[in-house]
Chains A and B, each alone.
Chain A
């Protein structure tokens, strides 16, 4: 079966660092993606991992361990505009994207 787990909600303070975890069990693996979705808006692409390790992109970093079926998204120097839902998604060999339930992050002043 296909299963992706993420925490439902997280809260952090402006300027802090937050780590959003994602665990997955899918039929085949062809990349892990993180998307950001602000309320009432379309999801937008944040990061992509296909090999183990850390990918850094400005204030955002994403880590992947394929053997553990585990990824995390690290957000540094949090800003109020980072308040959004963060979606973890795995693409399988059939090019299907399986999305997790999303983590709603609230950044407090």
Chain B
């Protein structure tokens, strides 16, 4: 069973640009959530999608957005990049109501903003 796949793994952008990150969840998982991880702040929740609907949103500015497709794949977009957006962006999927509903994480997309 394939795990959570995130692309691209690494990318470098400059301030003001925008970026789109992709996440393919484990087959059968309908919940996909996104997190920003930085050394100082730890894992910060961005948003969560379930069946193409954004169900929860963290405390991030509107420059951060996302969507989920009918096949449960998800994308997140960051517009007008700032230096502080440099981070590891982690995607996680879950079965939610089965077993413990734990999160399964992808390897992450490491974004560097210059």
Task: Name A2-51 residues within 8 Å CB distance of B.
Answer: 31, 33, 35, 41-45, 48
- Name B103's contact: one of A94, A97, A101, A102 (CB within 8 Å): A97
Q: How large is the interface on A (under 10, 10 to 19, 20 to 34, 35 or more residues)?
A: 20 to 34
Residues of chain A within 8 A (CB-CB) of B103 are: 33, 35, 43, 45, 97
B43 at the interface (CB under 8 A from A): yes
Q: Are A95 and B48 in contact (CB under 8 A)?
A: yes
Bin chain B's interface residue count: 20 to 34
Given contact pairs A96-B45, A98-B45, A45 touches B55 in the complex (Cβ within 8 A)? no
B42 smallest CB distance to A (angstroms): 4
Find chain A residues with CB under 8 A from B44 CB: 99
One digit per residue, 1 when the CB lies within 8 angstroms of any chain A CB and 0 when it does not, for chain B 99-110 equals 011111111100
Please measure, in the bound complex, the distance between the C-alpha atom of A97 and the C-alpha atom of B56, giving whole angstroms: 10
Closest 4 pairs between A and B when the two form their complex, measured CB to CB: A99-B43, A42-B105, A48-B100, A101-B42
Residues of B within 8 A of A (CB): 4, 31, 33, 35, 41-45, 48, 55-56, 90, 96, 100-108
